A and B are shown apart, each in its own frame.
Chain A
Amino acid sequence: MNNRMKSLAIVTLAFLVVSASAIDVDEIVSNASKAAYYQGKDGKAKLSMTITDAQGRERQRELTILRRNNDDESGDQKFFVYFERPSDVKGTTFLVWKRADGDDERWLYLPALDLVKRIAASDERTSFVGAHYFYEDVSGRHESMDTHELVEETVDYYVLKSTPRDSKLAEFASYRSWIHKGTFLAVKIEYGDEQGEVYRTYEALDVQQIDGYYTVVKGRMTDNRIGGYTTVTNREIEYGIGLEDGLFDERSLRNPPRRQLK
């Protein structure tokens, strides 16, 4: 079968699958996004990141993330990140106002320079503080940036293929996600280049039910192009702890909410 025939067959198959399944692609994508980034009204987690480079050298980062979904159901969110380790960056804080449609607003506070900075980025596929994860992997990629298709449905998973609407805004040509049918958590995401070669892989290594929500407590991002991987372990995860909107304010950068972070 040549490539054209193949893709034709896949598209046809995809149509069949879509029509046969009770759920359509947009719903899967939307549910997956909710499962990964919107559980509960708000949440908190302590993240331990181990960045292992191509030579096997390790670095640790520890940080606490607070999250609150906006009240207006727009899909907008606010994040507050407090860096704990290494000790020389302790007290560094990071505030994000995530817009479901549009560019996020980001602020950074560097205590040693006593400096609050706004960060502008033309895209969100920059590294998250040196990890193999991108900023976007932490905050969530906007669903509308890609077109999604269901390419396969197994007993346990929906396999989606997502292609960026604007190829210039992403370094990948497409990515495939394995969405668990029961939890809608993506357990694997493979980013492929123009040749279809997978160069970057996300894997959920451990999923637990916390406060009634299925949550990835351990995940890993591997990048073949640069080599190495980053493993993230979430501890002390809590949902619905009553974080106030006022907390996610520029003033908190310099004066982080100690009680909520503890």
Chain B
Amino acid sequence: MKSLFLNLALERSKTVFTVSVLVAGLLLGLVIWPTVYPEKALGLHAAKVDTDPENMLPADEPARVTHNRLKLEFGLKDMLVVGVTADQEANGVFNPRTLHDVFDLVEAAEQMYWENGDGVSGVVRADIIAPSTVDAIEQAGLGVVSFRWMMPEPPETEEAALAIARTASNLPMFASSMVSDDEKALALYFPLTEKSASFKVANELRAVIAGFGGEDRYYIAGLPVAQDQFGKEMFVQMAISAPAAMALIFVLMWLFFGNLKLVVSPMIVAILAVVVAMGLLVVTGNTIHIMSSMIPIFIMPIAVLDAVHILSDFFDKYPITRDRKTAIRGVLSELWSPMLFTSITTSVGFASLALTPIPPVQVFGIFVAIGTLFAWLFTVLLIPAYIMLLPESSLDGFGSADAKSGQEKSWMAILLRVGGRFSFGRAKLVVLMAVGLLAFSIVGVTRIVINDNPVKWFEEDHEIRVADTEMNERLAGTYMAYLAFEAPGLERESFTLPVLDAAKDLPEPSRTALSQRLDEIDYGTFDENRFLTLQDWVLDAQEKVESDNEWDAWEKVNLALESHWAAGAFFKTPEALVEIEALEAFILQNEHVGKVLGLPEIVKTLHRELFEGDELRYRIPDSSNAVAQSLMTYESSHRPRDLWHFVTPDYRKTVLWIQLKSGDNVDMSNLLQNVNTYLADSELSASARAEWFGLTYINVIWQEQMVAGMMKAFLGSFVTVLVLMILLFRSFWWGLLSMIPLAVTITVIYGMLGWVGKAYDMPVAVLSSLSLGLAVDYAIHFIARSREAYAKAGNWKDAMDEAFAEPARAIARNIIVIGLGFSPLLLAPLVPYQTVGVLISSILVLAGLTTLLLLPALIRLIPALGKE
């Protein structure tokens, strides 16, 4: 295979080059065509962006199915939240001017929806929560309760403005969520038909807000906006940071090799590999997700890495003969199997991500693996071909000046020689230091906190983060989690037996007929119509009887029917509501919980307002009927439908709205754990089934799955790579040795994360695979070349001297080029990219250092290796 490739590259350079570029060009065309001309897509897939963290879970993942089902059932929408403050005013936003603006903003928002093929997209007008769109339930004189719009028009006076604050604060539905506890700030909630509408709505809101004078501040927050913003910046990222990294790598290589034309070749390889990988990704119908947008950034160092090895070796070999073909053949015969194996191990590392249960991570892993293999293909074909195509003259002066003498005098060469002698000579000290570092790191690893928060993917001074911080400081919290309860359906026996018991006084034929009718009801679905039909039948029978006794007998049946049917409406019963109330109090004690809202608050508020606003009446009424009648009063307001965001019309399911001030998964996990422990011993869970949902909860689920899946993927690929290494070196010990830089690198990196306090999040998780790919690369190159040197020299001391010449220089050049090359990622406005930038550099430096320092020491100390 090697000679086939070499001959192709060297003898048919032009063809090889043209074909490669054509393939990449074709793929690019297949992506661009349907994207630019979607109407003439010819069945091709256009580039689709997907920034929805929900898609971290497969669509059929149970937690997600539950999430969607319950969202639909309770009519809950993703919301865009606008916070308003006016701290320059004595009463904050509760002044006529600001409230006028707020009124106008909401009125404008009511129109922010548009036709969208098969329906309407945008703001769900009927569900906006703002002073002008909700009802105030309050006292209007002795014995009078009033339902009126809280702010039907902007107030004219300061007093009227303040009254609105007081009214809202007095209503648990709005206190601390719509109006801040200090009655100075407001939050407006705009539910959206779907998350993707948030970008347009947010922009339209900003345009309206821009028209307001004054120093009032408006903050737009909510996960949907964050996601949209992320999608947009992701592209900026791909368009600016990734090319910037590429440009820097280019400049660095130019500095090292001093030949502009030659260093263009790794760039070509990298670009082609990225184009082919991304092209295949889109063509196969995959979406560009937060994860897959990072594919180019991962493929680039991998592609450049091998190219740098070739160039580096060529740089050192070319001056010796000044014949391209000879030099290249020499270079490739040395590098062929290390390069092949490094590419395979890198691919395996990334492909192992397909074992995680997170679809975007799977796609990411598979396409980086594909990109890696293409990078290898392009490297072994195009770099030799490229060198052949250059005019001979452009290689004038190329190469290490001292190459012939074998005694390079550059600072790097000297440093490496000294380093090599130190690590080989002071093997015990080096190993001791490494063990110390490992121990320190392992302690760090135990301190790692698993956490993520999509809002924190933005930098702290980003508009989104600022809004998030400000609003969570002043209001109940912008992160929603929901806890739903479902009561079981009616049981046949518990309904039919008491009813038949109450029918004792009926004549036998009527009893039999009743019994038959009772059997026809489907108790599991709790279908009210079936019950009403049955009741109608009873009432008709009652009408027709002649004796008073029989009439009374039917009446007993009717009452039994009603009371036992009512028991099925579980969440109308005071017992259930009191249980829920206790749970709410428990949830509220948890850290970061700003507010819990549920059916009890609505019932209690109604009860209080029906009784002259008496605070002592802020409690669950004593009977189901009292609950039902209080709620019917609520249903006589402007927004009766709001009730169904808390309970289903059959009162068999209810949901608690939990507002958290922190969207950190770790905080949500703690809450989950505490509440689930509480529920385990509670009456409530004995009678009703609890289910969590909401974006904050979904985030926890995918993170849990990712951590577990990542562990599996990592261990799986570690073993696979180990086996490959043993095969490559045809030695167990050498195979094991080659895994050491990788093991050390990962332990130290994660140890440092633990010590620094940086959470284990999505980008950190996938980087373990990158380490697997890159760290083992250096080890393969170093060990392969060292063993060749040993074969020549016959003793390890001289072999190490040789290994620390050209092979070590190639590794060092790689570390510097790629390590520094990723620094532009630090300027990225998105934190995951910064994390990736820092960690790629750290991985490269660490893996390089452990390879160069630790391996020689180990080679000396492990007898099994030295004997060879």
Contacts and interface: CB of A to CB of B under 8 A. Distances in A.
A236 B321 CA distance: 112
Given A57-B648, A58-B529, A130 B632 contact: yes
Given A58-B528, A112-B629, A115-B610, 20 more contacts: A53-B641, A57-B650, A58-B529, A58-B649, A83-B632, A86-B528, A88-B627, A89-B629, A92-B632, A112-B628, A113-B611, A117-B610, A118-B144, A119-B145, A120-B140, A121-B148, A122-B149, A126-B135, A130-B635, A225-B126
B144 A88 contact: no
A187 to B, nearest CB: 26
* Nearest 4 interchain pairs by C-beta: A130-B635, A88-B628, A112-B625, A122-B148
Contact of A127 (B111, B532, B566, B636): B636
> Which among A57, A58, A88, A123 has the highest number of chain B CB atoms within 10 Å?
A88
Nearest to B635: A130
B143 A129 contact: no
13 contacts: A88-B629, A108-B633, A112-B623, A113-B629, A113-B630, A120-B141, A120-B144, A120-B148, A122-B149, A126-B637, A129-B640, A168-B152, A225-B125
A41 interface: no
Interface in A38-63: 53-55, 57-60
B478 interface: no
A58 B531 CA distance: 13
Interface string B685-710: 00000000000000000000000000
B532 A121 contact: no
A188 interface: no
B626 A85 contact: no
Contacts of B636: 119, 126-130, 135
B572 interface: yes
Nearest to A116: B143
A195 B125 CA distance: 14
A89 B648 contact: no
Contacts of A54: 75
Contacts of A135: 636
A85 B566 contact: no
Nearest to B651: A88
Interface of A: 53-55, 57-60, 83, 85-90, 92, 108, 110-113, 115-123, 125-130, 135, 168, 194-195, 225-226
A85 B141 CA distance: 31
A55 B644 CA distance: 11
Nearest to A168: B153
Given A225-B125, A225-B126, A88 B625 contact: yes
B819 interface: no
Contacts of B635: 127, 129-130
A226 B641 contact: yes
Interface string B468-482: 000000000000000
A119 B153 contact: no
Contacts of B641: 53, 226
Interface in B131-151: 135, 140-141, 143-149
Contact of A53 (B565, B638, B644): B644
Given A115-B611, A119-B144, A126-B636, A57 B649 contact: yes
A87 B145 contact: no
B193 to A, nearest CB: 12
Contacts of A60: 528-529, 532
A127 B640 contact: yes
A115 B145 CA distance: 12
Contact of A113 (B111, B141, B610): B610
> Which among B111, B149, B566, B650 has the highest number of chain A CB atoms within 10 Å?
B149
Interface in B621-667: 621, 623-630, 632-633, 635-641, 643-644, 648-650
B562 interface: yes
B414 interface: no
Contact of B638 (A92, A116, A125, A225): A125
Contacts of A128: 636
B626 A112 contact: yes
Interface string B672-686: 000000000000000
Contacts of B626: 110, 112-113
Contact of B147 (A89, A121, A168, A194): A121
B612 to A, nearest CB: 10
B649 A92 contact: no
Contacts of B639: 127
Nearest to A125: B638
Interface in B358-387: none
Contacts of A85: 532
A114 to B, nearest CB: 9
A135 B640 CA distance: 12
A126 B153 contact: no
A118 B153 contact: no
Contacts of B156: none
Interface string B567-602: 001001000000000000000000000000000000
B628 A89 contact: yes
Nearest to A119: B145
B73 interface: yes
B545 to A, nearest CB: 16
B72 interface: yes
Nearest to B562: A87
Contact of B146 (A86, A111, A120): A120
B637 A86 contact: no
A182 B649 CA distance: 41
B621 A112 contact: yes
